[in-house]
Amino acid sequence: MASLTLPRHTGIFSGSLPTRPTLRYAAPAKVRMSLSESGPSIAVVGVTGAVGQEFLSVLSDRDFPYRSIKMLASKRSAGRRLTFEGNEYVVEELTAESFGGVDIALFSAGGSISKEFGPIAADKGTIVVDNSSAFRMDEKVPLVIPEVNPEAMHGIKLGTGKGALIANPNCSTIICLMAATPLHRHAKVLRMVVSTYQAASGAGAAAMEELEQQTREVLEGRPPTCKIFKQQYAFNIFSHNASVLSNGYNEEEMKMVKETRKIWNDKDVKVTATCIRVPVMRAHAESVNLQFESPLHEDTARDILKNAPGVVVIDDRKANHFPTPLEVSNKDDVAVGRIRQDLSQDGNKGLDIFVCGDQIRKGAALNAVQIAEMLL
């Protein structure tokens, strides 16, 4: 059986191609303490994908306690061997029988898999944290960013024998609202205009590989291989590859609109977005314009963000140093900078900010594991 080794991409291309070390989880110099008889039984669905691999990394980094862990994936990946925290596991095929005795299941295998197996797992008493869009807009399913709306999980607990579905928001929504919510709580956002600059990782490990391949090909003067995006990605930007709807917005943009309203529990907040794919490996950037009900001075906003959980402020005007995707890659915090008054709005009722966050980490795996931590 083949051993599973996936690349751990660390950032954007900047003159030279990144190395591709083998992904390993157990640090030889550190004894992991997260294997615990008192911890929950967990399963990772889609473990061979980019987010599935990051689930394992985050679980290990945060010493998440567990008494057992199942590695689940498609029939194609079943049988591969995977080393996690010094123990070797065999990847199992995901079936309806996979969830017996599983307390928490972290899903990142695509919407169709989640729709089929998420309810099956919940019916067997498993609490499912799903990274797909399958259940996000279901009124009965909480859509959660732990730093933003933890109260949405009220009543969902381990040890009751009762399963549940919990949805992880879209990566762009998470990164945006980590910065916008602390300001919203202070001055109430009436309207938000977002432009995103989204990394390859949002389209999965294959897209990351293709960006790397295309970059080599273009630099060598060869035609780029275009299988994932159907057009050249390296040294190019284009409208997000999500389907375009009849209103002219694409699905990614409408996710930000609808999810923001649900997470903030505010059907009246006005949100518009333009989502762009850029040749960056794993961290998204977003330009966010905010219109407030009450005045909010940029200095107050900066202080609020400096004290916000999961947020770091990088806002050095003198040095022209602000957040970049490279700086936040493989980091937990969302970085915010370019904090300034919107000159087009009177009375200090508008701000512009620039936000960067690791799409695989806080935009997906970290947020899901934080949700799981709330269940402990």
Are 64 and 203 part of one and the same domain? Answer: no
Are 287 and 334 part of one and the same domain? Answer: yes
Task: For residue range 196-252, list pLDDT tens digits in order.
Answer: 999 999 999 999 999 999 999 999 999 999 999 999 999 999 999 999 999 999 999
Q: Please, what's the largest Cα pairwise distance for the chain?
A: 66
Q: Which residues are catalytic?
A: 171, 284
CA 84 from centre of chain: 21
274 DSSP β-pair partners:
195
Are 115 and 258 part of one and the same domain? Answer: no
Asked if residue 231 is part of any domain, the answer here is yes
Q: Residues 283, 180: contact at Cβ < 8 Å?
A: no
Asked if residue 2 is part of any domain, the answer here is no
**Domain end (from 84, 119, 134):** 134
Q: What pLDDT does 27 receive?
A: 35
pTM of the model: 0.90
Q: Minimal CA–CA distance to 109: which of 152, 68, 71?
A: 71
Task: For residue range 43-91, list pLDDT tens digits in order.
Answer: 999 999 999 999 999 999 999 999 999 999 999 999 999 999 999 999 9
Are 189 and 130 part of one and the same domain? Answer: no
Are 112 and 206 part of one and the same domain? Answer: no
How many structural domains is the chain composed of?
2
Are 84 and 179 part of one and the same domain? Answer: no
Phi, psi of 78 (to 5 degrees): -60, 140
Q: Provide the pLDDT confidence category of residue 33 given band limits of 50, 70 and 90.
A: low
Q: What CATH number should be reported for the domain holding residue 26?
A: 3.40.50.720
Are 128 and 177 part of one and the same domain? Answer: no
Are 72 and 125 part of one and the same domain? Answer: yes
Q: How far is Cα 24 from Cα 46, in angstroms, rounded to an integer?
A: 17
H-helix or E-strand containing 272? strand 270-277
Quote the domain boundaries for residue 16: 10-134
Are 218 and 327 part of one and the same domain? Answer: yes
Are 270 and 194 part of one and the same domain? Answer: yes
Q: Other CB atoms closer than 10 Å to residue 87's CB: what's the count?
A: 12
Are 109 and 217 part of one and the same domain? Answer: no
Q: What CATH number should be reported for the domain holding residue 232?
A: 3.30.360.10
Asked if residue 18 is part of any domain, the answer here is yes
